[in-house]
Structure 1
């Protein structure tokens, strides 16, 4: 983790209607690889999306949550590629950290933590539960 102090005035826009994408992975006991079920959640905040994901995973599946970002300028030039993701919790469970194209210690660490959340879920306050 890297922490950098910033000036909060450096942003120029906000989005108060985020779209979260939740990936549920039918993974094995020691790997995040497996089938994937994908869901978009709106009208909620990150804690509510996390609560929903953990309830759906039910201690059996791994999950990851991303913020869906639509880039209008990019979509004008390439309509098929205007939507992207910002990983918030976890990463793609089917990415292979040992593959030459995706080798990344951060990916391996994220997947290890995804597996750990099955037995030790993130606490969500009562007010934020779905």
Structure 2
């Protein structure tokens, strides 16, 4: 982990309505790989997305949360491939770390979160009665 000071004026745009992608992995006791269920979350902040994900995962599955980013330039250059992900918590549980220590470490933290979840204050929790619905129409 690295931290450094920056000038807050170096950004020129904001995204006021993020789209989060949650991956739930039917993982094994000592590994994150297995079946995957994928959901997108709108109208929430990152703490609400994390809260929802970890409540769905419980102590049997692992989960990861990403920010969905639609890159218009990349879409124009390679149609159908403009959407990407920015990992916020965890990583793809089915990726094989090989020689990537950061991925292996992220997957180990995902496994540990089963029994030591992220603490989300009550004010930041996702609604308890939230149901999975149909995707919004474009």
TM range (shorter): over 0.9
What is the SS of the residue equivalent to 1:49? helix
Distance between the aligned counterparts of 2:111 and 2:121, measured in 1?
22
Structure 1 gap ranges (5+): none
Show CA shifts across 1:59-93 (max 9, x none).
11100000000001111121111000000000000
What is the SS of the residue equivalent to 2:85? strand
- TM (normalized to structure 2)? 0.90
State the 4+ residue runs in structure 1 displaced beyond 3 angstroms.
none
By percentage of residues, which structure has more helix?
Answer: 1
Q: How many residues align?
A: 126
1:40 corresponding residue in structure 2? 40
What are the residue-to-residue correspondences of 1:88-127 with 2, within 5 Å? 88-98=88-98, 103-127=99-123
Q: CA RMSD in A?
A: 0.6
Distance between the aligned counterparts of 2:19 and 2:116, measured in 1?
26
- TM (normalized to structure 1)? 0.95
Show CA shifts across 1:8-39 (max 9, x none).
00000000100000000000000000000000
